Structure 1
Amino acid sequence: MTSSAVALSTAVPGVPAVLRAGPARLTAGFDQYRRLDLRAHQSVHGPMRPLSIDELIQLAEQIHLLGRGGAGFPFARKVQAVVESARRRLAETVVVVNATEGEPASWKDKVLLTRAPHLILDGAAIAARALQASEIVLGVADDGIGGESLMRALAERRMPAPTRIVTMPHRFISGEGGALVRGINGEIPIPPGRKQRASDNGVNGLPTLLSNAETYSQLAVAARLGPRGYGATGTDREPGTVLLSVGGSAKYPAVVEAAVGVPLMAVLDMCDAEVGPGVLMGGFHGKWIGPEAAERAEISRTSLESVGGTLGAGIILPLGPGTCPLAEVTRVTHYLAGQSAGQCGPCRLGLPDVARAVASLADGSGGSGSVDAIRAAAGAVRGRGACSHPDGTARFALSALETFADDVSAHILHDGCGLPTKNVLPLPAGEAATGSRLAVDWARCDGHGLCAHIVPELIRLDGNGYPSFPDTPVPAWLESEARKAVNMCPALALRLSDGTKKPNRKKSRR
């Protein structure tokens, strides 16, 4: 760790360390307290006055507050949309905090939940008072991180509306806003089959203000500091600070509160993270940038977009040296394909196609046609899904082709780059080792091809007519079809393992 890093060392077991590059806002008091209870919170942050709805909208506009969950939608416009919808329908409103944080690489909201829960509650309370909301709902993941801290914080204070905590499955797509609303409404927590705004039809069909935990925490800070105080750090276009989850090759993975405008390399240096061939910015739905771009980039949406990256949800994953970039990308594309809700064609069929094409490039089996296959598969899903998952997955894969052009050439010309896979990009614990897997007894397989017709989302036929499928766990939503394919195999060659032992199989018999 470099000398420029400010470590907030009172750590909490189970969550990353917290560092600071700039003034303490969301992490104020972390150097003194492991967790800020109400008394410590009020001592560190001071009193907070309520805001009217007009004052709330004006404050959010003046500080250019954007959602910190990834999409970066203006918070003021969200509030205004809820107000207009409620007036038009003469309906009550609901405030929802999304702290589910389904992406494996993201830790910032968990840090807030475990260490500064009252900042989250402050922001939700400001919005609920201004909207005169009938309810506040706090969505957390079922991973056991942060929920207890949030319950304790609620017990320490009075909220301006009835407040409840709802637990969601810790899955990638469960963190999507529409999935959270469906979960709160007692439905399966997957994105809705059609795009709809929570401001029009949210919790119980009411106009709902939905944003993530950091956004509400930033609102709580801004309400105390005012526009001028809040803008004393950051840039004119993007004032304030941002929470960053830094992982990948970092020797000191951490959540970093950084002033907007700080050089990206300064953040990587304080976590002792080597860039290697590239850095994934914004998480698994983000974009890759190369070493030269990383040297020029600053921590801001404007700067990162200018070098081909994105801030997204504030996730930074450098690869570091010595790992195969395309193998890392393959791992994640298979994971993303498996995280699909399986409710629309682009997810059911398109994402497995993307994963297969990336794997063919990585293992050298697809030759120069693999690049065209990736672009075609990604192009077939973009803009056609019921949610943003297909778009994000396509963006991730296409960005890798551009950033790792030299590695792509090596895999095409030499069947690989000669580097091992170090599993630098984080996947959920056990993701690569558990779950049912398909396997083929090649001594029995006669290439009938029936399995590919039964479960085309998972199985394709190779050039010789034999089944080919990724060596990854079968997604839960495809297990019934996979079992059907196994049971209907005429040669009894297809098997479905229980995941306790990884099957040793080849891609094709011939």
Structure 2
Amino acid sequence: MKNAPLKLPEVRWVEPGRLTSGLDRHQRMDLSTHTRVNPPLPEPGREDLLALAEAVVLSGRGGAGFPFARKARAALATADRTGTAPVVVVNGTEGEPASAKDKMLLARVPHLVLDGACLAAAAFNAEEIVIAVAAGSPGEISVPAALAEREFPCPARTVSVPERFVSGESGALIRGINGLPVVPAPLKARAADGGSGGVRRRPTLLCNTETWAQLAVAARLGADAYAAVGTADEPGTALLTVNRPGADPLVVEVPTGTQLGPVLEACGLQPGTGVLVGGYHGAWLHPSVAFDAPLSRAGLAALGGTLGAGAIVALPDDTCPLGETARVATWLATESAGQCGPCKRGLPEAAEALATLAAGAAEPSALEGARRALGAAQAGGACSHPDGTARFLLTALDVFSEDVDAHLSGPGCGRPVRGVLPLPHAEGARLTVDWSRCTGHGLCAVLAPDLMRLGPHGYPTSRTIPVAPWQEHDACRAVNQCPALAIRLHRRG
């Protein structure tokens, strides 16, 4: 591992770290270093481990915040009823571009994550441990090396899935582990129930990387010591990814309930024009409330926000907020699976409206149409992607309301779009329209209705249209059958 080309995220602390203990002295902790830094791992039984998780109020750290003990009990109830051993899954895919905490854990302290998975596998008599990582991520190198260093209570393996935003959705990930396309299942099925929702139809306990690491920390400390920091309702610490313009993100460990302002200051940042908390399924906070916002799920919920996966972006004053939001809206629309109405129509329409608004060419009616589309997208999709995207965009329109007015009433705010909100470097596929050739036949809108929208005179409303993977077939039809040869498809890369 000494010569492995790992990119190791930098770590900081507001108070002495737990999950990050030892990283002030070691870049990456192999098994021997891990055992020197951490005390021996206990071996609690089934009920003891469940009681510990309940006592420390351990919840999922991937975004949804579902209680670990409740999820585990559901999987165990299925296992007991069917006589089938459960499968333990570590979700380390982290398709959120603004988040690096799981990459940090898998790259720098992989054995802490594996400790948590092994605790559950041993206590629950699991059939297998599966660690899912994103293709090309540090975990693809670090985790197999860690697996080779230690013994496990059951077979353990690594699975790589495409690095896409929807790959981390639980149903999509389980489909990927089962060898199916990595997209959310058309019909929702609980992993804990096994069947079509589980790994090889077994009851499945799937948790985020940080969740498993937190379980290992709690087992070593015990419930009382674990709850010595944090809030009464959400004891312990949390990992945050603080994004910085023009620099790599920082992973910061803080006690839950810590105010956001001191965390930003410790990273050399100010709230700017607004702060995004929770990543691209999170919510924007106005600068007037951001500084004192408590970094806990309950504290942020009271402000209309969400902790989500803990990704934070403070938007500086020298970039256009609407332009930044529009970039991400377009990306989120193309990252969907395209399996339900909100993703096929609602998100692309909203992204197009945001792009038009950022360009200073939108009418108030178009903005209201985008709001309606996003409102309809909430709670109407096959997964949480439309809901999270709607929250991200609707809170942006509220927090940046002055900029919205400036873009509606004139040429805009006058600031460039600096690309502060992080996105993958690879450019997505897109259609472009050659206006010198287009004669307004309108056939493209018939062949690719989810892509091409026509204005009142029969011409496409946009010159550049992003294309999601599920839209490429229709995009090719529109290109090949355009009578004027006015459309071009530019592939990803």
**Range into which the TM-score falls when normalised by the shorter chain:** over 0.9
Matches of 1:340 and 1:333, distance apart in 2: 11
| Aligned pairs (5 A) from 1:18-37 | 18-37=11-30
Name 1:256's counterpart in structure 2.
252
Question: Which of 479, 486, 494 in structure 1 is aligned with 2:487?
Answer: 494
Give the corresponding residue for 1:423.
Answer: 419
The match for 1:291 among 283, 287, 291 is 287
Indicate the residue corresponding to 1:405 in structure 2. Answer: 401
In 1, the alpha carbon distance for the partners of 2:486 and 2:293 equals 53
Q: Give the structure 1 partner of residue 435 of structure 2.
A: 442
Helix, strand or coil for the counterpart of 2:425? coil
Is the deviation greater in 302-311 or in 237-246? Answer: 302-311
Do the aligned partners of 2:9 and 2:103 also contact (CA within 8 Å) in 1?
A: no
The Cα RMSD (Å) is: 1.5
- For residue 91 of structure 2, the aligned residue among 98, 106, 115 is 98
Equivalent position to 2:113, from 115, 120, 133: 120
Between 1:162-171 and 1:448-457, the stretch displaced more is: 448-457
1:471-510, CA deviations, whole angstroms, 9 ceiling, x for partnerless residues?
354222211211101111122222223468xxxxxxxxxx
User: Separation in 2 of the partners of 1:28 and 1:499?
Assistant: 40
Task: Determine which of 27, 39, 48 is the counterpart of 1:46.
Answer: 39
1:44 counterpart letter in structure 2: V
SS of residue paired to 1:233: coil
Deviation at 1:319, TM superposition (A): 0.8
Instruction: Structure 1 unaligned segments of length 5 or more: list them.
Output: 1-11, 501-510
SS in 2 for 1:350: helix
> What is the correspondence of 1:359-508 to structure 2 with a 5 Å cutoff?
359-431=355-427, 435-469=428-462, 471=464, 473-498=466-491
Instruction: State the match for 2:176 in structure 1.
Output: 183
Residue 281 of structure 2 is aligned to residue 278 of structure 1:
no
Partner of 1:342: 338
The correspondence for 2:237, drawn from 231, 237, 241, is 241
Q: Residue in 2 aligned with 1:220?
A: 216
Equivalent-residue separation in structure 1 for 2:96 and 2:431 (angstroms) = 26
Match of 1:197 in 2: 190
Change (3 A) 1:252 1:444: closer
> For 2:125 and 2:492, how far apart are their aligned partners in 1?
50
Give the aligned partner of residue 168 of structure 1: 161
Q: Pick from 45, 53, 60 the counterpart of residue 60 of structure 1.
A: 53
Residue 284 of structure 1 aligns to a residue in which SS?
helix
Q: Which amino acid aligns with 2:47?
A: D
Asked if 2 retains the 8 angstrom alpha-carbon contact of 1:94 and 1:133, the reply is yes
Q: Structure 1 residue 197: deviation in Å?
A: 0.9
Work out the number of aligned pairs and report it.
486
The residue aligned with 1:83 is 76
User: 1:129 Cα shift?
Assistant: 0.9
CA contact (8 A) 2:88 2:206 kept: yes
> 1:252: how far off?
6.5
Structure 2 equivalent of residue 506 of structure 1: none
Q: Which amino acid aligns with 1:236?
A: A
**Matched residues in 1 for 2:421 and 2:38: separation?**
36
Q: After superposition, what is the alpha-carbon deviation per residue over 1:27-76, rounded to whole angstroms, capped at 9, x for unaligned?
A: 00111111111121111111011111111111111101110000000001
CA distance in 2, matches of 1:306, 1:427: 29
* 8 Å CA contact retained: 2:240, 2:253: yes
CA distance in 1, matches of 2:27, 2:397: 43
Once the two structures are overlaid, the 10-residue window that deviates more, 35-44 or 118-127, is 35-44
Deviation at 1:295, TM superposition (A): 1.7
**1:420-462, Cα deviation, whole Å (9 max, x unpaired):** 100000000133xxx4432222222221111112112111012
Q: Which amino acid aligns with 2:400?
A: F
Is 1:306 equivalent to 2:324 in the alignment?
A: no
Shift of 1:387: 0.9
SS state at 1:460 partner:
coil
> Cα–Cα, structure 1 residues 83 and 499, in superposed 2: closer, same or farther, change >3 Å?
closer
Matched residue type, 2:250: A
Alignment gaps of 5+ in structure 2: none
Maintained 8 Å contact 1:249/1:274: no
Mapped to 1, the partners of 2:345 and 2:303 lie a distance apart of 32
CA-CA distance at 1:350 after TM superposition: 1.7
> Letter of the aligned partner of 2:201 in structure 1?
G
One-letter amino acid of the structure 2 residue matched with residue 149 of structure 1: S
Secondary structure at the aligned position of 1:253 is classed as strand
Provide, for residues 215-264 of structure 1, a one-character-per-residue CA deviation record: whole Å limited to 9, x for no partner: 00000000010000101111111111000011044866300011112210
Q: Distance in 1 between matches of 2:417 and 2:386?
A: 25
Answer yes or no: is 1:209 the counterpart of 2:202.
no
8 A contact 1:441–1:494 mirrored in 2: yes
On the 8 A contact 2:261/2:270 being kept in 1, the answer is no
